[in-house]
Amino acid sequence: MEPLVLGQHQFGSRLLTGTGRFSSLKRTHEALAASGSELCTLAVRRIDLGQTETSALLKALPEGMHILPNTAGCMTAQEALRVARLAREALDTDLVKLEILADPMTLYPNNPETVRGAQMLIEDGFTVLPYCGDDPVVCRELAAIGCAAVMPLAAPIGSGLGVVNPHVLRLIIDQVSVPVIVDAGLGSPMDACQAMELGADAVLVNTAIAAADDPVAMAKAFGLAVEAGYLSFRAGRIPKKPYATASSPIDGVVEG
């Protein structure tokens, strides 16, 4: 695989991982290591006073893992900017996953506010990866204003439904000049493989790994599926046909 280029950064794996919803830090470590991922998301949260250990998660990450802080929980561009700056200061990274949701029930991105937020963060020097709806117009605009990638959803966050609208995902991939990272809603490695076969540049997976019965095996499976889909898209699949075509030769059969 060629490296995934996000702004000034390069990554050998095209599987981005989330770190939420794991049952323990040990599991987080093992699963992320098994996935082969080189970039994982984290959320920024207030320290609970009296808590002895802070950011223990950071120490639990596999060696070589890069960090992509997110702005989860923000409902406005202004809040997202504030959280992104805190993360940058603490982590020394200009990477940020911009996530501005419209409501706590559907967890759908607020696209117009996300565009505003992306503009503010880009002006402030961030390498912005915005989570957004699967809307080609929004994705084009995010690319046009300077986002390092776009991150359209496959399905609602945590739903596990997979790529519910492959037509529009292909349209986005065709029309957007920056990398397309499919985020949210993937349920199994097959879904990740499908996203990559549609031409996505990478996928981000959290719940489907963390909430699997065996997160470590599932993480490895996602890593393999992403590579499979990457290779497949570039290897040029056969067309679909409604009728059959023989794979064994028709002539030369033994006769009586």
Partner 1 sequence: MKLWVNGQAIEAPEACSVSGLLTHLNIDGTVAVERNGELVRRADQASTRLSVKDRLEIVHFVGGG
Side-chain-side CA neighbours of residue 198 (13 Å)? 28
- 37 is a site residue for partner 1 (CB under 8 A): no
Integer CA distances (angstroms), 201 to 44, 92, 167, 192, 204, in order: 26, 25, 16, 11, 10
Kindly report the number of other CB atoms within 10 A of residue 151's CB atom. Answer: 26
Task: Catalytic residue, from 97, 220, 240, 241: name it.
Answer: 97
Beta strand 95-98 pairing with 15-17: unpaired
From the list 4-12, 52-60, 80-88, 118-126, the region that binds a second copy by CB under 8 A is 80-88
Binding a second copy (rule: CB under 8 A), the pick from 33, 82, 145, 199 is: 82
- 243 is a site residue for a second copy (CB under 8 A): yes
The secondary structure of 185-198 as a DSSP string is ---SHHHHHHHHHT
Q: Which of 189, 191, 190, 184 is nearest to 215 (CA)?
A: 189
For residue 94, the partner it binds in a second copy, partner 1, none, with Cβ less than 5 to 8 A by kind, is: none
Binding partner 1 (rule: CB under 8 A), the pick from 206, 225, 227, 233 is: 206
Binding partner 1 (rule: CB under 8 A), the pick from 104, 213, 242, 247 is: 247
Closest separation in Å from C-beta 8 to a second copy: 26
Pattern 154-193, partner 1, x by CB under 8 A: ---xx-------------------------x---------
Q: Which residues contact 70 (CB under 8 A, 6 or more apart)?
A: 41, 42, 43, 44, 96, 97, 98, 99, 131
Binding a second copy (rule: CB under 8 A), the pick from 5, 25, 120, 211 is: 211
For residue 119, the partner it binds in a second copy, partner 1, none, with Cβ less than 5 to 8 A by kind, is: none
- With H, G, I as helix, E, B as strand and everything else as coil, classify residue 17: strand
Query: 26 an active-site residue?
Result: no
- Residues 107 to 146: which contact partner 1 by CB under 8 A? none
Pattern 128-167, a second copy, x by CB under 8 A: -----x-xxxx-x--------------xxxxxxxx-xxxx
- 49 is a site residue for a second copy (CB under 8 A): no
Return d(Cα 159, Cα 208) in angstroms, integer.
Answer: 9
Binding partner 1 (rule: CB under 8 A), the pick from 10, 26, 55, 174 is: 55
Return d(Cα 231, Cα 216) in angstroms, integer.
Answer: 23
